[in-house]
Amino acid sequence: MESTIQQLQARYEQAKAENPKSRIRDLANILGVSEAQLVALNTGTTVTRLEGDFKELLKAVHTMGYVMALTRNDNVVHERKGVYNNVSFEGPVGLVLDLDIDLRLFMMHWKFGFAVQEADRKSLQFFDKSGEAVHKIYLTDRSDVAAFEAIVAQFKAADQNPEVVTEAYPVEAAELADSAIDVAAFRESWLNLKDTHEFYGLLKRHQLTREQALRLAPEGYAIKIDNTAVQQVFEAAAADQTPIMIFVGNRGCIQIHTGTVTKLVTMGPWFNVMDPELNMHLREDRINSSWIVKKPSVDGVVTALEIFDEKGEMIAQFFGKRKPGNPELEEWRAIVQNVVNKQAHATV
């Protein structure tokens, strides 16, 4: 094992030298290994391996005070600052419910944990069984370092082994042919939705992938639009400070920002929000399709902008600020409709 670890370390150092601007996730892809395997290489020096009940660990994160939560997938990074208040679990599914840190946690996918020190940055980093990052928590200059160290001491693994043995997830089943779907029944179910959270169950019942569902949606409930929609929607929301909701997730965590966006910056393929409490970094060049999606609810129609990559995986969802019991913001509906109208006009 030692020689294998040393070989990977040497390959990693070479990859960093050849790709000095690349992040660790990208270097892992270059090397054909997982990010968790690269993080674990420094176990015993700048990395401490963690073990135990990560649900209990998360309940203690509030003691660290003001931190930065990071959740990402291949195409977008969501960074939100705040305090981990109101952490609760029902079985393996958890919630962090605060105005600033708002998370949906799926702990069945949290396999590996590490405390990491990169120069002067301290963090807690968590990965699924395949070694892909599900969530990271970074200390800020306002965080309680002693509380961080106490959490690390409590959850420090007895065996500080630098080797990580990962396990691939099963390949997703192929999408059914549209002809195999009872489209009429599916559309009726869509129109009878009472809550947007019912949509996932709807897909399962009718054996649909999400993008396929949008293609087969009731007329007017899913509109495919140009991939410039994200920038247009954000620019409009920033201009009049309409509060929005940004959902970014992976199999282990969904992270939500609710509030305004202000400083928008495009750098190469990246479209960024660079606000004091929120950073979002989106690879616009990886958006393969964009949809305006409307779902009925007891509070009226709820409208989202959903974007997908070339594999049909959702990159992110965007809504107007809304809480259950309240109708959708008219300002958000107007923003979305204006984008749809502009794009329709441009194609005429």
Task: State the pTM of this model.
Answer: 0.95
| Per-residue pLDDT tens digits of the chain, which is 348 residues long | 546 899 999 999 999 999 999 999 999 999 999 999 999 999 999 999 999 999 999 999 999 999 999 999 999 999 999 999 999 999 999 999 999 999 999 999 999 999 999 989 999 999 999 999 999 999 999 999 999 999 999 999 999 999 999 999 999 889 999 999 999 999 999 999 999 999 999 999 999 999 999 999 999 999 999 999 999 999 999 999 999 999 999 999 999 999 999 999 999 999 999 999 999 999 999 999 999 999 999 999 999 999 999 999 999 999 999 988 999 999 999 999 999 998 776 654
CA distance 311 to 300: 32
CA distance 123 to 143: 11
Task: Please give the CATH superfamily to which domain 2-86+111-155 belongs.
Answer: HemS/ChuS/ChuX like domains (3.40.1570.10)
Within the chain, all domains assigned CATH 3.40.1570.10 are found at 2-86+111-155, 178-347
Tell me which H or E stretch contains 316: strand 314-320
Question: Two tokens at 173?
Answer: 């089943």
Per-residue pLDDT, 173: 87
Per-residue pLDDT, 345: 64
Strands 87-90, 222-225: pairing kind: unpaired
CA distance 209 to 206: 9
Question: Two tokens at 107?
Answer: 């702990």
Torsion of CA 307, 178, 301, 226, to 10 degrees: 30
Helices (runs of H) and strands (runs of E) counted in the chain: 10, 18
CATH number of the 178-347 domain: 3.40.1570.10
Helices 229-240 + 330-347 axis angle, to 10: 140
